[in-house]
Chain A
């Protein structure tokens, strides 16, 4: 026995961890059935589950409780996944690969639809059973793959321009800027604060901010037919707005390390005149406490090169796992969650933006959430991120290009040319 060399023993113990990690996801003896995902197969009734990221709003359980009271034989149960989006995706993917029936309804980030649909992890939804005209068109689009509906729009999101009213008032500025040039002129009049920031750390937020800059200058990352077309003069103007911003000090240089929370802190300290942020920060910045801008800030649509900008669309959609039993119940549950009554209740309780257009025009709700009008205008103008089956690689490529341009490692010309090349390889449509 002693002839078993020590080295092997150590090596085995040491590295097994690393290898195990890789092996866990593997061994996919996939069935070759494939075929077209026709929508007729949503049958079966009984208990279901809702797999969703950590519920930061605190209202999801209430929504499920209401459903459970009305459907004693078709109880729904929440399965809470981690708060981190990548970790949520990973758990859902792992469940799909083992064909587990643990999750019935999946709460998907808008950028995951293509990947989940193309891998046939989610079932196609019957378009005719949803009144899609009532939803915001851009939000509906994020639930589609190849013109078929795979996920129903549930919550939506779009970037807004937050501005420090106090600083603008002192400089005698009455109105939020509509273009980048106006914004820079405004900043020149304001003393004692940095001009603009967003989220420029190398993560999904950078993809969002880059896409917004490009779209606000009239460019696209991926065109309507799904072909990458980012090496254009318009896209360059958009990227240069950020690159020059960093160079000439319009954007503070620490913004390269900002995620949502860092930028919110800087704004709440009064360090920024303008910044780009999701609507969620509205409620937080209005809370007494650390925020020094309570009642002293406002929101406006994002500015652009020659007029209002085009925000990037965020949000979540609901899909049905292909491997779940009781798909008919799951479909009813999704209809319930996306109904006007539920979305209204959820908006009031959690201030999360709904996907039904009518709610934005409701006078009562507008009184409670003054930014709804602005948000609707932004949402109607919002652009989705690329709908790619290999979205993880696509967003990594976008982040690489934008980050190297913003940090001066590459010129914007080279960054965009490289990105176009890379996206061409990744997006096969």
Chain B
């Protein structure tokens, strides 16, 4: 077995590390990491705090006698938030909130199923496997804005999509079909991402497990459900989490493919963009903050409910690896015996 080739030499450093941890090199670690924390505080912490501050302000939009804009920001407390949630803009907000959630739930579900299917295909040994793997990854390599333009061309009135279904659907107009167009384009682009990650997971499953299942008389579906799925679960959950976070800040695809100010596909990011481009940075920051909280809640719920314990997973894997390494020599001896 390949996992148990550990020699005594690799066991010793693991032990040493554990011991030195006890001796309290934590302070040294903190010092060594502090440049990183400083950079994080600058590029992550500061913008977030500044955006929170900004979301409490409103730009005055009155004109003075000469027709010039009266300058200066005014502190308005939580007014930007209450305006968004209950004021005139609330219709647009809740519509965008619904769209964002719809794209997230439906999109990620389709992408996950297709992605897993793709990974299973890519994992098979057959002629031209390298070619299939490469071609499946092409969509992922294309920038979203470019792929949105490609799909715009496919979905135009006299485009390929209408020629194929033999019926004229005006995909980029308001209506459910606009959502469908976005979902198709998004799935085309991101299912390969899920597929790639799942493929990596599949390659870690030892062939022996499948052989044993076969010997025990398990069918294909049963094998998939009881062996493949549980073993790729950690990888799959990471892939899904990444996709969730990605779709929640969906912007470029609906914006380029369908267009701005279309109720059918308007997402929260698009609302924030629209406010910002009309120089209303306060409300824009408020939209962004609401989206931030939404993303945080979803990520937290996902991690808690499904146990997509990414950092913890890595930690415990290290532990079991260390344990296995300790047992290693004996296991190897048993295997050869």
**A interface residues, Cβ below 8 angstroms from B:** 1, 6-28, 30-32, 34, 36-37, 86, 89-90, 93, 117-120, 145-146, 201-203, 253-254, 256-258, 262, 265-266, 389-390, 392-393, 396, 399-400, 403, 407, 409, 428-429
| A19 & B296 in contact (Cβ 8 Å cutoff) | no
Min Cβ gap A207→B in Å is 12
Question: Are A26 and B281 in contact, with the CB atoms below 8 A?
Answer: yes
- Whether B285 lies near A32 (C-beta < 8 A) is no
Say whether B261 contacts A400, CB under 8 Å.
yes
| Closest-CB distance, B287 to chain A (whole angstroms) | 7
**Of B67, B68, B281, B299, which one neighbours A25 at CB under 8 angstroms?**
B281
Flag if B50 contacts A27 (CB, 8 Å): yes
Is there an interface contact between B51 and A26, defined as CB atoms closer than 8 Å? Answer: yes
Is B276 in contact with chain A by the CB < 8 A criterion?
yes
Smallest distance from the beta carbon of A275 to chain B beta carbons, Å? Answer: 14
For the side of the interface on B, what is the size category? 35 or more
- Given A15-B296, A16-B44, A118-B63, is A389 in contact with B288 using a C-beta cutoff of 8 Å? no
Residue in chain A with minimal CB distance to B286: A22
The docked-state distance in angstroms from the alpha carbon of A160 to that of B303 is 59
* Any A CB within 8 A of the CB of B289: yes
Q: Which residues of A contact B67 (CB under 8 A)?
A: 117-118, 145-146, 389
Give 23 A-B contacts (CB < 8 Å), ordered by A residue. A7-B304, A10-B299, A11-B300, A13-B44, A15-B292, A18-B295, A19-B47, A19-B288, A21-B276, A22-B272, A22-B281, A25-B284, A32-B72, A145-B67, A202-B260, A202-B261, A254-B168, A257-B172, A262-B156, A390-B278, A396-B274, A403-B174, A428-B61
A7–B26 alpha-carbon span in the complex (Å): 23
Asked if residues A22 and B277 are in contact (CB atoms below 8 Å), the reply is no
Would A407 and B174 be within 8 Å (CB), given that A15-B295, A26-B50 are in contact? yes
CB neighbours (8 Å) of A89 from chain B are 277
Residues of A within 8 A of B334 (CB): none
Report how far A14 CA is from B241 CA in the complex, Å.
10
Interface string of B63-105 (1 = CB under 8 A from A): 1101111111100000000000000000000000000000000
The contact of B170 among A25, A86, A257, by CB within 8 Å, is A257
A22 touches B287 (CB 8 A): yes
Q: Do the beta carbons of B68 and A120 come within 8 Å of each other? A: yes
- The chain A residue with its CB closest to the CB of B72 is A30
Residues of A with C-beta under 8 A to B291: 15, 18
B51 and A392 within 8 A (CB): no
Contact between chains at B62 and A28 (CB < 8 Å): no
- Do B51 and A23 touch (CB < 8 A)? yes
